[in-house]
């Protein structure tokens, strides 16, 4: 009898399949956490701190007051004793002869300090001395000695970033879940006539492709090289990965810093909490892990620097030889640098009523290798070598349920730095009729095969 709820599926080779709904739910919960925390935090900060401080800054008039008395206010909030400095002042309203008298301190008027901080603030005001104050001309009883604090504004920025990150992630997750893998992987030729007409209205119609289901090379040959004909595009620029990891580390550790500050405040007033401490430990571990990942990516981005791969012709064809130019920059000592010709096949298939997607490495060959050399400051290391495409190689494919993806991968092992890999996609076309090599469908079994689905 089949199971209705599948959290883990059968392991297939090096991969373990799983239900798509579980991934969508987990992704939605992750982004919803950031959205809810950001919205709740932003609402609390705006209503409790920002709006009162804006009122004090925009509508209140400056005057002079005299301190009559001072005291330490106390209030229990969420099982914790909190404090605020309270100062009795006497101040003169400009259009009145009598003086007003009230207890006040800041615009927020909330119990937000621990005892030592509140007492330190009280020590700044001496009874009998005069200080500046600000009062509301429409309501003279409203007066403050401090119009704003910087900390709530900084926390508000973090809360807004949390809400933006969570909202954008939820929108992306919703759109992603509404589109099937087949539709995301399908080429423009597989669209409906209505969709195709709309796409052609927005973009000029490309030149017709001779081979069906073979991807176009327009996005690969649109950048001329400096030494050879074309410079290959890189799959993912390291700078974007560095920015993404850095943003996640900053947001996460900002929250962890606030939690640590709150925990230290409890210890300072003599209210230690083992539950708070135990809860905070995994957050700190994740924050440290994100910082380590960001430092690792920073070292890779700044030290390894730019990798460029240029080719003399494109697209590639089976059995032909092509000249390749490799340029590597960055001050470093390289233990091993190699270039590999790789081919991955992606398949989207049905398993019962579930949709599965699998990627398998079906071909890998080292076409260049060099070890133990050093790149000095301001230097550029260049290598030229030849690449022979296997004569029985399967051509690139982009169909509704299958993709055959060829690429050149530059892989390096650097002294005292993490290893790096950079992938440059290429396109392999069927063999030209003049080469004498039979097309894939009429020849012996190819160098690649589909993964067992």
Q: In 179-221, which ranges are continuous DSSP H helix?
A: 181-185, 193-202
Q: Which residues contact 113 (CB under 8 A, 6 or more apart)?
A: 82, 83, 84, 85, 121
Residue 107: pLDDT band (50, 70, 90) is confident
148 near 53, Cβ under 8 Å? yes
Lookup: tokens for 23: 């991934």
Lookup: tokens for 82: 């909190």
Specify the higher pLDDT residue, 335 or 8: 335
pLDDT reported for residue 323: 94
pLDDT reported for residue 238: 62
State the average pLDDT over residues 62-80.
84
What is the C-alpha separation between 313 and 160, in angstroms, rounded? Answer: 49
170 near 178, Cβ under 8 Å? no
pLDDT reported for residue 270: 62
Residue 138: pLDDT band (50, 70, 90) is confident
Residue 212: pLDDT band (50, 70, 90) is confident
Residue 46 Cα to chain centre, angstroms: 27
**The CATH number of 305-442 is which of 2.60.40.640, 2.40.50.100, 3.40.50.2000, 3.40.640.10?**
2.60.40.640
State the average pLDDT over residues 41-57.
83
Mean pLDDT of the chain: 77
- The crossing angle, in degrees rounded to 10, of helices 150-178 and 238-268 is 130
pLDDT reported for residue 441: 41
What is the C-alpha separation between 403 and 425, in angstroms, rounded? Answer: 13
Least confident of 371-375, 418-422, 432-436, 441-445: 441-445
pLDDT reported for residue 326: 93
State the average pLDDT over residues 6-23.
49
Percent of the chain with pLDDT over 90: 15
Is it true that the peptide bond before 315 is cis, omega within 30 degrees of 0?
yes
State the average pLDDT over residues 427-448.
57
Domain ranges of the chain: 61-146, 305-442
State the average pLDDT over residues 185-203.
40
Specify the higher pLDDT residue, 444 or 130: 130
Angle (CA) 13-18-23 rounded to 5° is 135
List % helix, strand, coil for the chain (3-state, nearest 5): 35, 35, 30
**pLDDT over 80 (residue 159):** yes
Least confident of 223-232, 395-404, 433-442: 433-442
pLDDT reported for residue 117: 80
State the average pLDDT over residues 141-168.
82
pLDDT digits (tens, 9 = 90+) for 112-124: 777 888 888 888 8
Question: Which uninterrupted H or E stretch holds 424?
Answer: strand 420-426
Least confident of 142-146, 242-246, 376-380, 408-412: 242-246
280 near 272, Cβ under 8 Å? no
Lookup: tokens for 139: 């309501």
State the average pLDDT over residues 59-85.
84
Smallest CA-to-CA distance from 266 within 283, 254, 279, 253 is with 279
351 near 305, Cβ under 8 Å? no
pLDDT reported for residue 97: 55
3-class SS of residue 212:
coil
**pLDDT over 50 (residue 290):** yes
Specify the higher pLDDT residue, 404 or 356: 404
Q: Which residues contact 371 (CB under 8 A, 6 or more apart)?
A: 334, 335, 336, 337
Q: pTM for the complete prediction?
A: 0.49
Smallest CA-to-CA distance from 114 within 272, 277, 269, 270 is with 269
**pLDDT over 70 (residue 210):** no
Smallest CA-to-CA distance from 407 within 358, 443, 336, 359 is with 359
């Amino acid at each position: 009898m089949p199971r209705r709820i599948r959290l883990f599926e059968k392991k297939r080779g090096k991969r373990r399949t799983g239900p798509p709904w579980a991934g969508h739910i987990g992704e939605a919960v992750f982004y919803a956490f950031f959205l809810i925390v950001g919205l709740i935090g932003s609402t609390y900060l705006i209503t409790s701190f920002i709006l009162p401080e804006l009122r004090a800054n925009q509508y209140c008039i400056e005057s002079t007051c005299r301190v009559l008395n001072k005291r330490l206010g106390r209030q229990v909030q969420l099982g914790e004793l909190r404090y605020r400095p309270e100062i009795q002042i006497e101040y003169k309203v400009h259009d009145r002869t009598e003086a007003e008298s009230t207890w006040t301190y800041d615009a927020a008027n909330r119990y937000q300090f621990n005892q030592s901080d509140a007492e330190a603030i009280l020590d700044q005001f001496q009874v009998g001395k005069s200080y500046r104050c600000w009062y509301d001309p429409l309501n003279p009883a409203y007066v403050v000695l401090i119009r704003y604090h910087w900390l709530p504004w900084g926390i508000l920025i973090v809360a807004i970033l949390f809400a933006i990150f969570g909202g954008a992630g939820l929108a992306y997750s919703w759109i992603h879940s509404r589109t099937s893998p087949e539709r995301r992987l399908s080429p423009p030729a597989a669209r409906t006539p209505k969709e195709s007409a709309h796409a052609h209205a927005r973009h000029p119609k490309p030149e017709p492709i001779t081979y069906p289901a073979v991807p176009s090379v327009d996005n690969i040959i649109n950048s001329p090289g400096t030494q050879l004909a074309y410079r290959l595009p890189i799959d993912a620029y390291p700078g974007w990965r560095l920015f993404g990891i850095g943003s996640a580390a900053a947001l996460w550790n900002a929250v962890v810093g606030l939690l640590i500050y709150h925990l230290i405040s409890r210890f300072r007033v003599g209210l230690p909490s083992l539950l708070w401490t135990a809860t905070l430990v995994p957050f700190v571990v994740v924050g440290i892990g994100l910082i380590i990942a960001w430092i690792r990516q920073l070292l890779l981005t700044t030290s390894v620097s730019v990798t460029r791969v240029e080719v003399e012709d494109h697209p590639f064809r089976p059995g032909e030889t092509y000249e390749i130019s490799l340029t590597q920059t960055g001050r470093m000592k390289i233990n091993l640098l190699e270039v590999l010709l790789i081919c991955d096949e992606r398949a989207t298939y049905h398993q019962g009523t579930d949709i599965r997607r699998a990627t398998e490495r079906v071909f890998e060959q080292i076409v260049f290798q060099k070890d133990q050399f050093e790149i000095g400051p301001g230097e550029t290391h260049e290598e030229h070598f030849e690449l022979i495409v296997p004569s029985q190689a399967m051509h690139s494919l982009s169909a509704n349920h299958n993709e055959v993806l060829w690429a050149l991968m530059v892989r390096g092992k650097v002294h005292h730095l993490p290893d790096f890999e950079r992938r440059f996609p290429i396109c392999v076309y069927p063999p030209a009729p003049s080469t004498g090599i039979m097309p894939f469908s009429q020849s012996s079994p190819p160098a690649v095969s589909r993964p067992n689905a």
